[in-house]
């Protein structure tokens, strides 16, 4: 009988259980995947702790992985048993030897991309794809601001922006992170621990500010991001690591130059199997060409997931982390 990780109550890593389970047979529009690698993301700790709530308990965990199709539903025509596939949008339950999920959430994985690489990059890489290629389609030559440039999403954004010929100004919290962001392709960095971000953006852009600002931090950087956005520019608020933005006064947008603001999600862009596959194909091409690289610096056995969560929450990891069934 296959194994999976589940939790019956919210709490620390100690609530994660390694148990036998009976995997569901695929419904008409579902596929069962034998996982070869599973992605570890900080959002997983939110579901475990109770900050985010799964539909019911006990619950599986994890939303990202890669493997081989072992069973398909009766209505699935674009996938077959034996196909190499990857997924990054759930549903919960990826921390498992096998995972049953909607066929619409799966993409075909080319031979040039390993299971481990796919499992480590689907969620973050597809996020960068829609941000840079769809929410504000960058043409090359723009100077943009990207918060948390040395983080998981930011490290991919630095490389993708450079490949597009875009000057990315990345905010970071330390000299070490500034060095990392620059090594990955950031044109300039701003260390918010001791620099005024808005003032530095004005200097770096000769007073023009940025046509687009990408902000995953939320509440703590909202005002700063508005102050860095050029008149009629776009502020893309795509995360809330410091807390959600609330109490927005739309009049502020007028006062700062008729600004635009959007709060996008991956699901709104990867809304059909065709769109999801097209986004993934572009990501895979960037990886295969070497224009984007991802460092998988930690590998844990699936049964040792509690140690993986402890390391992640304790900021003891770097790059990406994968779980191996």
Q: What is the DSSP string of 151-206?
A: SHHHHHHHHHHHHHT-EEEEEESSHHHHHHHHHHT-SEEEETTTS-HHHHHHHHTT
Q: Is 245 a member of any domain? A: yes
Distance, in Å, from the CA atom of 120 to the CA atom of 131, rounded to the nearest integer, reads 18
Same-domain check for residues 109 and 166: no
Comparing CA positions, the residue from 125, 31, 134, 45 lying closest to residue 85 is 31
Same-domain check for residues 277 and 258: no
Residues 6+ apart with CB under 8 A from 120: 37, 39, 294, 296, 320, 321, 322
Q: Is 129 a member of any domain? A: no
Q: What confidence score (pLDDT) does residue 243 get?
A: 86
- The residue out of 263, 281, 311 marking a domain boundary is 263
Q: Is 127 a member of any domain? A: no
Please state the pTM of the whole predicted model: 0.93
Strands 65-72 and 84-87: antiparallel
Per-residue pLDDT tens digits of the chain, which is 325 residues long: 999 999 999 999 999 999 999 998 999 999 999 999 999 998 899 899 998 889 899 999 999 999 999 999 999 999 999 999 999 988 999 999 999 999 999 999 999 999 999 999 999 999 999 999 999 999 999 999 999 999 889 999 999 999 999 999 999 999 999 999 999 999 999 999 999 999 999 999 999 999 999 999 999 999 999 999 999 999 999 988 888 899 899 999 999 999 999 999 999 999 999 999 999 999 999 999 999 999 999 999 999 999 999 998 887 887 899 999 9
Same-domain check for residues 286 and 204: no
Q: What confidence score (pLDDT) does residue 240 get?
A: 85
Same-domain check for residues 66 and 168: no
CB 70 within 8 A of CB 25: no
| DSSP per-residue codes, 40-57 | --HHHHHHHHTSS--SSS
| Number of separate domains in the chain | 2
Q: Is 130 a member of any domain? A: no
Q: Is 215 a member of any domain? A: yes
Residues 6+ apart with CB under 8 A from 175: 191
Q: Is 134 a member of any domain? A: no
Same-domain check for residues 82 and 111: yes
- The residue out of 218, 244, 263 marking a domain boundary is 263
Q: Domain of 39?
A: 3-121+273-324
Q: Is 319 a member of any domain? A: yes
Residues 6+ apart with CB under 8 A from 165: 140, 141
CA distances from 202 to 132, 187, 196, 324 (A): 22, 15, 10, 46
CATH code (residue 308): 3.90.180.10
Same-domain check for residues 17 and 107: yes
Distance, in Å, from the CA atom of 131 to the CA atom of 147, rounded to the nearest integer, reads 13
Give me the helix-helix angle, 305-313 and 42-49, nearest 10°: 100
Q: What confidence score (pLDDT) does residue 314 get?
A: 86
């Amino acid at each position: 009988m296959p194994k999976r990780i589940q939790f019956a109550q919210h709490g620390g890593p100690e609530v994660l259980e390694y148990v036998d389970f009976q995997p569901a047979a695929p419904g008409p529009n579902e596929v069962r995947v034998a996982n070869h690698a599973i992605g570890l993301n900080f959002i997983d700790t939110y579901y475990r702790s109770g900050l985010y709530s799964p539909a019911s308990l006990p619950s599986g965990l994890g939303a990202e992985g890669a493997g081989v199709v072992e069973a398909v539903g009766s209505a699935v025509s674009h996938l077959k048993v034996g196909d190499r596939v990857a997924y990054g949008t759930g549903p919960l339950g990826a921390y498992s030897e096998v995972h049953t999920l909607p066929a619409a959430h799966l993409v075909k994985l080319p031979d040039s991309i390993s299971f481990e690489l796919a499992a480590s990059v689907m969620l973050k890489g597809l996020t960068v794809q829609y941000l840079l290629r769809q929410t504000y389609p960058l043409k090359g030559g723009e100077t943009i601001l990207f918060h948390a440039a040395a983080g998981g999403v930011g490290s991919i954004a630095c490389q993708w922006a450079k490949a597009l010929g875009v000057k990315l100004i990345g905010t970071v919290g330390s000299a070490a992170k500034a060095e990392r962001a620059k090594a990955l392709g950031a044109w300039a960095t701003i260390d918010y621990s001791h620099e005024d971000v808005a003032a530095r953006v004005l200097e770096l852009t000769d007073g023009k500010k940025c046509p687009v600002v990408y902000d995953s931090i939320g509440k703590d950087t909202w005002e700063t991001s508005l102050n860095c956005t050029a008149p009629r520019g776009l502020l893309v608020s795509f995360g809330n690591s410091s807390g959600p933005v609330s109490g927005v006064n739309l009049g502020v947008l007028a006062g700062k130059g008729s600004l635009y603001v959007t709060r996008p999600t991956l699901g709104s862009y990867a809304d059909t199997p065709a769109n999801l596959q097209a986004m993934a194909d572009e990501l895979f091409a960037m990886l295969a060409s070497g224009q984007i690289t991802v460092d998988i610096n930690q590998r844990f056995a699936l049964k040792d997931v509690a140690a993986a969560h402890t390391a992640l929450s304790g900021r003891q990891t770097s790059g990406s982390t994968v779980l191996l069934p």
